[in-house]
Structure 1
Amino acid sequence: MFQYVEQHYEDIDFSQKDLRYGELTRCTFTRCKFRSTSMEEISTLSSRFIECDFRGALLNASIHQQSAFVNCKFHEANLFVAKFHECKMTGSDFTKANLDGMTIDQGDWSYVNFRAAKLAKQDLRGVRFAEADLTEANLEKANLRHSDLTRAQLGRAKLQGADLRDAIMDGIDFPSINVKGARMDASQAVSFLRAYGAKVD
């Protein structure tokens, strides 16, 4: 186990290294590579990762609190039962990442690429997904109450049983999504009807 506090790294290649069980506190990594790096059970606190590459990284059971992963690549990374508490993830790409059992607690996930992501039954209350790409994502039975879905892309997303009440859905292209079985509040229902040309008084 190792502990890094207030360390700063730029353009460093940590690929395929063993960084398991480490603790990173108020550290900053800029344009660093973590390709296929073993980072199981690592914990971060108020650390920043900017334009870092986590392709194929093993982040199983990792815990991140109030950290930022901005414009990072998580292609095919393993995030099994990883936890993100009040993290800023804007612009990050999770293409083909394993998100099984991952916990998202609050935080800003705007502009993320969650295409075809498996987020069924997730508690996503209060999470900011503004302009996120959730095309074909599985959000069945997910709790999205009070979340911000402003201009998010939800085409062909699975929303059966999802709770959308009190979520901000400004700019949503309702005709492109199937809300059958989803729970909506009155204002969302009005927006949905207007999207189909209905006049609601």
Structure 2
Amino acid sequence: MDTFIEEEFVEKDFTTVEFREAEFTNCVFFRCRFRGCHLEEISTVRCQFIDCDFTGAHLNASSHNGSSFTNCLFSAANLFVAVFRECKMTGTDFAEASLDGVTIDGGDWSYTNLRYANLAKQKLQGIKLAEADLTEANLEKTDLRNADLTRCRLSKAKLNGADLRGANLEGVDFKSMVVKGARMDMSQAVSFLRSYGAKVE
């Protein structure tokens, strides 16, 4: 098992390198390439990945604690049963990534591209998803209590049975969402009704 502690990598190409089960602690990666890289079961702790490319990478069963992946690309990456605890993911693109079984415990996922993502039944209480793109995402029965969904794009997103109580829905287009069976608090319900022209007194 490879172990990396407080190392810094700038514009490195790791495409042909295998890091299976490797452990990274307090490392910094700037504009590095991990395209198609085997990163199964790796562990990152308080690492920073900035503008890195994980296109097609294999991150199955990987674990990330307090790490940040800012403006990274995970296009078509495999994140099956990966775990992200209190991670900063702002501006990162997950287009066509496999997120089945992923665990997201807190953190900042603002400005991320999660179009078509399957996040059904996830526990996302308190997560920051401000201005994230969740177009046509599956959020059925997802716990979004107290989440920050400010100006989040939720066009055709499935929110059937989701729990939205306490979530910040400022700037969200209620008309574009499928909310049958979703749980809302009173202020959200009022905003929802007003978006359809109802007069609430």
Which interval holds the TM-score relative to the shorter structure?
over 0.9
What is the 5 A alignment of 1:91-110?
91-110=91-110
Q: CA deviation at 1:200?
A: 1.5
Distance of 1:93 and 1:124 partners within structure 2: 19
Distance of 1:197 and 1:98 partners within structure 2: 39
Q: CA deviation at 1:16?
A: 2.9
Q: CA deviation at 1:145?
A: 0.6
- 1:70 matched to which residue of 2? 70
Distance of 1:162 and 1:57 partners within structure 2: 31
Q: CA deviation at 1:179?
A: 1.2
- 1:82 matched to which residue of 2? 82
- 2:189 matched to which residue of 1? 189
Distance of 2:118 and 2:176 partners within structure 1: 19
SS at match of 2:175: helix
What is the 5 A alignment of 1:32-181?
32-181=32-181
Q: CA deviation at 1:180?
A: 1.3
Q: CA deviation at 1:17?
A: 1.4
Distance of 1:126 and 1:103 partners within structure 2: 14
Q: Which amino acid aligns with 1:194?
A: R
Q: Which amino acid aligns with 1:86?
A: E
Q: Which moved more, 1:107-116 or 1:167-176?
A: 167-176
Aligned length: 201
Instruction: In structure 1, list runs of 5 or more residues that go unmatched.
Output: none
Percentage of identical aligned residues: 61
Q: Which amino acid aligns with 1:66?
A: G
- TM-score, normalised to structure 2's length? 0.98
Q: Which amino acid aligns with 2:24?
A: L
Q: Which moved more, 1:121-130 or 1:171-180?
A: 171-180
| 1:143-195 superposed Cα distances (whole Å, 9 cap, x missing partner) | 11111100000000011111111111111111111211111110100111111
Q: CA deviation at 1:197?
A: 1.8
Q: Which amino acid aligns with 1:2?
A: D
SS at match of 2:4: strand
SS at match of 2:44: strand
Distance of 1:163 and 1:100 partners within structure 2: 20
- TM-score, normalised to structure 1's length? 0.98
Q: Which amino acid aligns with 1:39?
A: L
Distance of 1:176 and 1:97 partners within structure 2: 24
- 1:23 matched to which residue of 2? 23
Distance of 1:11 and 1:55 partners within structure 2: 15
Q: Which amino acid aligns with 1:45?
A: V
